[in-house]
Amino acid sequence: MVKCRECGNERVLKVSYYLGDFKHLYHWCPICKKNTYHEILARIAP
């Protein structure tokens, strides 16, 4: 689960590359329609 910093949209994100100690992820937000920083709220098990 990630939360967009700009619009606050929360969504499930299933990606293989957010491993390690990332607290934020620069990723496409479909609401903002641009890449924004997202806070990682929880990790989704593969």
Judged by the rule CB under 5 A, the positions of this chain that interact with Zn ion are 4, 6-7, 9, 29, 31-32
Q: Which is nearer to Zn ion, 23 or 45 (CB)?
A: 23
Task: Report the alpha-carbon distance of residue 44 to residue 34 in Å, rounded.
Answer: 23
In angstroms, give the least distance from the CB of 32 to Zn ion: 3
State the Cα torsion 16-17-20-24 to the nearest 10°. -120
In angstroms, give the least distance from the CB of 7 to Zn ion: 3
In angstroms, give the least distance from the CB of 1 to Zn ion: 14
Task: Report the alpha-carbon distance of residue 33 to residue 10 in Å, rounded.
Answer: 14
